[in-house]
Amino acid sequence: MVWAARRGHSRPLLVRHRPKADPVGMDEDSHWELLHQCLTDTTIPLDVRAAGAVLLLFGQHLARITALPLNALTEVDGHPVLVLAETPIRLPEPAARLLAELAAAPPPSGWAANSPRRWLFLGNGPGRHVNRPGFGRDLRLWL
């Protein structure tokens, strides 16, 4: 349309800019309530609970959370830690237990018994981390 107007083939077109609404944050009480739900509510799928806990505790993007390698969950000086961007962060007990449970969970059906497990959040195919648009939707649905 700009090209046509500049060459006299049409009238100039004015499109008004619609400002975006300010983002709405979460109040502190809601934040802690959601974290408590992630750590304790066993009716929520384990991977969704674990991703929600990491998101709420450390503010990581979902894409980074789902691509955490299995060895990101380790121990330093006898304390469980999660390594984020090469920085080991000591995990509080409920979160450490939740992530350890996720790490010990069996792989999805269809994986060969000798398939290596490299990711904390397993995808449907052997050797792949969860990488599906529906995972974020699941997180919003449950939490």
Of residues 94 and 129, more confidence is placed in 94
Q: How many CB atoms lie under 10 A from the CB of residue 47?
A: 19
Q: Are strands 87-90 and 73-76 parallel, antiparallel or unpaired?
A: unpaired
Closest CA to 140 of 63, 58, 51, 39: 51
Q: What angle do CA 81, 87, 88 make, to 5 degrees?
A: 15
Residues 33-37 have a mean pLDDT of 95
Residues 6+ apart with CB under 8 A from 69: 118, 119, 120
The token pair at 103 is 């790490």
Residue 50 has pLDDT above 80, yes or no: yes
Of residues 23 and 70, more confidence is placed in 70
Between CA 71 and CA 74 the distance in angstroms is: 6
User: What is this structure's pTM?
Assistant: 0.77
What letter would DSSP give residue 71? G
- Chain Cα centroid distance, residue 81: 18
pLDDT at 142: 81
Q: How far is CA 38 from CA 34, 112, 114, in A?
A: 6, 30, 31
